[in-house]
Amino acid sequence: METSVLRRHAAEQDINDALRRQLPARREGVEVLRAEISLHVSKDTADAASHLEQVKREGELDALARRQAKARMEFLYNEMLGTPAKARLYTLLEHSPRLEALPPGTDPDALVRQVQQWQPEGRWVVIAQLLHTFVERLSKEGEEELLFLAEKLLHSFGERKLAEQVKQVGTK
């Protein structure tokens, strides 16, 4: 039987019930007909147990908050942001304050496009992975040439600020 020192009276009751089931008890000429126990817990022990209980409760609340955040993320990703149509339908529904799905003023279509763009199988994610593999295989001279070409390419598309940033990164 296991119980908390914070529930002293319940522990007393449980132990006394167990004792009553064992009585009467006879051993070596002695017969016990009735027995009762009383428990006392020191203030230090009760304080320590209280502190431990609080720490445990906070840990459980933290774990619950993590599970709820994960569930909200999964709901957003799988249900609401699965397709632009689902996102648009969601905005037509009455909102539950418990779901806390999207803050007011959020454009669900733009959010869906952004989420879909950065999925692992998204075109630009795959291209970035391929470029990363390509750059890893380049020599130092090849890296310099690639940076020069990237700067010129961005400049030709009118992206002067980005071209300058590439140039600055290349000189580091």
The answer to whether residue 130 scores a pLDDT higher than 70 is: yes
- CA angle 166–169–172, rounded 5-degree value: 155
Q: State how far the Cα of 1 lies from the Cα of 137, in Å rounded to an integer.
A: 66
Q: Is 88 a residue whose pLDDT tops 70?
A: no
Decide if pLDDT at 97 tops 80.
Answer: no
| pLDDT band at residue 8 using 50, 70 and 90 as cut-offs | confident
Split at pLDDT 50, 70, 90, the class of 150 is very high
Average pLDDT for the chain: 83
Average pLDDT over residues 96-114: 66
Contacts of 49 (CB under 8 A, 6+ apart): 4, 5, 6, 41
The predicted structure's pLDDT at residue 93 = 64
pLDDT tens-digit readout, 27-86: 888 888 888 888 888 999 889 989 999 999 999 999 999 998 898 888 877 777 766 667
The residues that bridge with 25 in the sheet, in sequence order, are 32
What are 31's two structure tokens?
């017969």
Q: What are the pLDDT digits (tens) for 110-119?
A: 777 777 777 7
Q: Which residues neighbour 41 within 8 Å (Cβ) at sequence distance 6 or greater?
A: 5, 8, 49
Task: Name the pTM for this structure.
Answer: 0.40
Predicted confidence at residue 151, as pLDDT, reads: 93
Q: Give 154's contacts (C-beta < 8 A, 6+ positions apart).
A: 160, 162, 163, 166
Give 7's DSSP letter: G
CA atoms within 13 A on the CB side of 35: 14
Nearest to 32 by CA among 40, 22, 41: 22
